[in-house]
Amino acid sequence: MQMPPDKPQWWHGILSKSLLLKIALPIIIIISWEVLSILIDNPFILPSIESVLLVLSKPFADILGSGSLIGNAMISLGRVLIGFFVAAVLAIPLGIGMARNEKLHDFFDSTVQVFRPIPPLAWVPLALAWFRIGLVSMVFIIAIGAFFPILLNTLDGMKSIKKTWIEAAHTLGAKERQILANVVLPGAAPTIWTGLRVGFGIAWMCVVAAEMMPGTNSGIGYLIITSYNWGQVQVIIAGIIVIGVIGLGIDYLFKVVEKKKFMWRELDR
């Protein structure tokens, strides 16, 4: 007699061991949070989950006259995009140039190495002194944060280009300019993309910190620091969650493109 084959149940995927393992810690954190908030019983230190969820449930409602969660998050996102764009426009061509021209490399490399380890936030006072409070200061700090990962990954990507790709292109009749567009750029693109992804992550961290600079009057970082001044800890936590979710979402978008467009890097041997 033959046994009927095991039918896969719909819940098999959801309750697979690895998924259980993945959601275990978040569940522990949430339960401990709720328990602790009841034990501490002080919303100025640890508000309850419900109060945070209440704030999150009204993402478009004005908070303390400072604008909504989503509104401020979009303002922050806009700033990040500008700073990130500035960084990418400077770092990618510079990286390509440095990789292709030894003199250019020697000219810039020492300076890059000196500036690279400086945390972007160390530039805050200088940014304030030079550009005052405002968009320019923030864009400056964000751009510095995003610049180095993009530059270093561009250099790495250029190094990963096989010499024989370029030679093959040469023997197939490609001119220098065509090789740049059809071999060098597509060859380095996956690594440059990684640089953009890392750069964006850092830019996103920088904007929140930059918005906590005194005198700022909008953005998710501003909302958080204002909520602190008013003792609204549940808004602080809600803001942190929004920052995390947006950061995760954008990272996911970067990864989707990476998987779709640059799969060859993983699979090419």
Partner 1 sequence: MTLIVENISKEFEQRGVRSAALVSINLDVKEKEFTCVLGPSGCGKTTLLRIIAGLEKATTGRVMIGGELVTGPSSRMAMIFQDYSLFPWRTVIDNIAFGLEMKGVGEEERLDVAAHYLDLIGLNGFGENFPYELSGGMRQRVAVARALAIDPSVLLMDEPFGALDAQTRNMLQKQLLEIWDKTKKTVLFVTHSVDEAVFMADRIVVLTSRPGTVKEVVTIDLPRPRDRTSQDFAKVRRYVLGLIDEQQSTQ
Q: Where along the sequence are the contacts to partner 1 (CB under 8 A)?
A: 162, 164-165, 167-175, 178, 182-183, 186-187, 189, 262, 264-265, 267-269
- At what angle are helices 17-40 and 49-57 packed, to 10 degrees? 110
Closest approach of Cβ 146 to partner 1, in Å? 25
For residues 226 and 8, what is the distance between their CA atoms, to the nearest angstrom?
52
Alpha-carbon gap, residue 231 to 18, rounded angstroms: 39
By C-beta, is 116 or 175 nearer to partner 1? 175
* Of 161 and 240, CB closest to partner 1: 161
Task: Please report, for residues 151, 195, 236, the alpha-carbon distance to residue 53 in angstroms, rounded to integers and kept in the order given.
Answer: 40, 35, 12
CB closer to partner 1 out of 6 and 268: 268
How remote is the C-alpha of 206 from its chain's centroid? 10
Between 50 and 266, whose beta carbon lies closer to partner 1? 266
| Sequence-ordered list of residues with C-beta below 8 angstroms from that of 236, at least 6 positions apart, any chain | 224, 227, 228
- Among residues 128 and 166, whose Cβ is nearest to partner 1? 166
From the CB of 172, what's the least distance to partner 1, in Å? 4
144 vs 184 by CB, closer to partner 1: 184
Buried b (16+ CB within 10 A) or exposed e, 232-251: bbbbbbbbeebbeebbeebe
What DSSP string describes 112-150? Answer: HHHHTTS-GGGGHHHHHHHH-SSHHHHHHHHHHHHHHHH
Closest distance of CB 167 from partner 1, Å = 5
Give the nearest distance from C-beta 201 to partner 1 in angstroms: 25
Closest distance of CB 187 from partner 1, Å: 7
Minimum CB separation of residue 192 from partner 1 in Å reads 13
- Sign for the CA dihedral angle at 50, 52, 57, 63 comes to positive
